[in-house]
Amino acid sequence: MDTEREKMLRGEPYDPSDPDLVAARRRARELVAEFNDTAPGATDRRRSLLGDLFGGVDGEIHVEPPFRCDYGDQISVGDRFYANFDCVVLDVCPVEFGENCLLGPGVHVYTATHPLDPEERASGLESGRPVSIGDDVWIGGQAVINPGVTVGDGAVIGSGAVVTDDVPPGVVVQGNPAEVVSEIE
């Protein structure tokens, strides 16, 4: 029989009140609270906490507190990753950031979703869809990346954009919903 975590990671409906998932979220919140309480100069401590929190860290990364996430271990970041203040990653499914990714303040990345049918939603079951952000991507402040979105290499997401569909490589998108406004030469 599959665990609720296994179902969650496959994007199938799962019960978030499962004790193992509750414990995993508690662990993440404790690490996040400790990270968010670090002193501005505590660079080594911050890196250590993010290494414990994230599922994968490849190279140099920098995250400005405060930061929030659900589990942490579904987040992987490439070399030279930077997240500005107040970023949120709801990682019930994998969230992958490539190399040289920049997140402006208040960027939100969501993998979590709920049933559209009110009766199903009232059951308490949730699901999710993974998010993938390519290399050399810049996401402007207050942008939202929705479940299941893939952002291609070299793309730029304008501030305040709500990204509901995949973004091709080498383009600028903006708006709500986000639309391609130009190609990057």
Handedness of CA 7, 10, 14, 16 (dihedral sign): positive
- Residue 62 annotated to the active site: no
Annotated catalytic residue within 10, 45, 62, 114: 114
Structure tokens of 139?
């996401």
- Residue 174, beta-bridge partner list: 179
Angle at the Cα of 106 (from 102 to 112), degrees rounded to 5?
Answer: 95
Structure tokens of 185?
């030469």
Catalytic positions, please? 114
